[in-house]
Structure 1
Amino acid sequence: MDTETSRKTVMDAWAAFASRDPARIGAVFARDADWRPNPGTPPPRRWTCPATSSGARP
């Protein structure tokens, strides 16, 4: 993926977030996406799921 393609992908993702449309946001991400914080980054206090979450609730 070249720089311009990466840039467009990120801009499209932010536009989807700005729309607040769950279907549009979901279309940007793979169903099996796994969200991982940077090592050493504590989760927010109100975060109730494990540090590594694939969307499944504990």
Structure 2
Amino acid sequence: MKKPLNKELNPKLLFSFIAMINGLVTLGVSVYLGIESTIIVGLIIFLMGLGAFFYFLD
């Protein structure tokens, strides 16, 4: 039996979603500017946000 989805927005999910958007923006800017080390940082931020999103989803 699954729990019914909560209608109110969970702040943990919101912060992890913001981290994913931040990682994608960092990734896009670094690809546009051609900075290789920042590409890795953007991917790490995005993947951490994605992991936190699925962790807090229960």
TM-score by length of 2: 0.37
TM-score by length of 1: 0.37
Bigger proportion of residues as helix: 2
